[in-house]
Amino acid sequence: MNSLQEVWSKRFNHYMLEVQKYMRFVFTGHIALVLVFVIGAVGYQYSEWLKVVANTFPAEWLVAIIVGFLLALSRPVTLLRDPDQVYLLPLESKMPAYFRSALRWTFWSQIGLVAIIYIVGIPLLKAVTELTPQQIWLSLAIIIILKYLNVHIEFNYRYANRGASLIIDRITRGLLSILTVQSALTEGYSYVVIFIILLFVYNRTLAKRVKVQPIPYEHFVKVEQNRMMAFYRFANYFTDVPHLHGSIRRRGWLNFIYSIVPYSQKSAQSYLVYRTFIRTDDHFYLWVRLTVISGLIALFVNMPVVTWVVAAALAFATTIQLKYALLSSGDFRMDRLYPVEPAQRKNAVRKVLRLFVVIQAIIVMLCDIGQPMFFVTGIIIIVIGEFTFQMTKDPSIEY
């Protein structure tokens, strides 16, 4: 490597290839269809609500709180790796150039979400306030400045304090960001200047401490590892991530479910699959998240067709992903030491999925109970779940 800039470029290219490799499995056909229906339904509901929203609605505070919260979440993307704690030590004096590239990418990769959320709030601001277009877009420029400051402050704070008491830093920056955005939306520009100066001084104070301290490689490597693991867990809901191993939790409060499994030799696989599903975070939280999303859509979207489409798509996603996860486990299991027919495990997985698809259907129906023909939602979920299990190809099962 000729320079640290080349190191950054090579790592950034590898990172983008890694993200693209898994994101193409995330935005597949059925997910794209769900997003189209969800965005369309939410947009329709939002436009209808704007027609009746009261002029006293605190739109400025709502937008400021949401945007300020996102501004405070400015975790740096450094792409540092564990060996860097040794191999980059001789280049510590040249690392600022590397971190400048990292902070530029951190800013541009995070500003998009903040800008989109603010732009979504513009129709609400126009409906209940008398802000001019110039004032609204000036506020967006102020938000961009705030994001720039938040990115650099969080990096310098982590650098100077090794991440200790980060929550206090985020709360402080969040409150200042909320007050700044709210002041901008209420034309209190003198307060905007004061709050921005406070953030600037805070950043300069941290920057001075950074100059006299060694680089906290261990902390930044851990932050990067946690960030990538979060991405891999998200991608694992849509495709298999080979090097991801989910954590295990006992979840004793769900022990009563095991009592439905008969105590017999033929039920050994059922008992094993129940415990695997309930205790494995990846499997259990996948079901919880998709059920919650489906329930929220049913609760807040007053369009039955949209609810049915989303419920069907998520029931399909739930069944196919859990079927693959529970049938294709490559881990060693004690049942492989015994003469167990492969069909027994498939039947056990079918029983588990039937039970939890029915529970998903009941939860979504309860959320949809205020709509006409709410029972259709539950029927769709159960039918799609059963059809998906029967018609999709089984993964290879090793014994």
Q: What digits encode the pLDDT tens for the residues 377-386?
A: 999 999 999 9
Question: What spatial distance separates the first Cα and last Cα of the chain, rounded to whole Å?
Answer: 47
Burial letters 238-255, b for 16+ CB under 10 A, else e: beebeeeebeeeeeeeee
Q: Per-residue pLDDT for 154 more than 70?
A: yes
Distant-in-sequence, close-in-space partners of 18: CB < 8 Å, separation ≥ 6: none
Rounded CA gap, 106 and 74, in Å? 8
Q: What is the CA radius of gyration of the chain?
A: 25
Lowest mean pLDDT, pick from 23-37, 310-324, 365-379: 23-37
Q: Which amino acid is at 187?
A: E
Distant-in-sequence, close-in-space partners of 36: CB < 8 Å, separation ≥ 6: none
Which pTM value belongs to this model?
A: 0.77
Lowest mean pLDDT, pick from 27-36, 176-185, 313-322, 351-360: 27-36
CB of 372 within 8 A of CB of 304? yes
Burial letters 268-287, b for 16+ CB under 10 A, else e: bbbbbbbbbbbbbebbbebb
CB of 221 within 8 A of CB of 255? no
pLDDT score at 250: 83
Token pair for residue 262?
């008969």
Rounded CA gap, 190 and 74, in Å? 26
Q: How many CB atoms lie within 10 A of CB 95?
A: 18
Handedness of CA 216, 217, 220, 226 (dihedral sign): negative
Inter-helix orientation angle 29-50/95-128, to 10°: 40
Q: Per-residue pLDDT for 134 more than 50?
A: yes
Q: Per-residue pLDDT for 63 more than 90?
A: yes
* Length, in residues, of the chain: 399
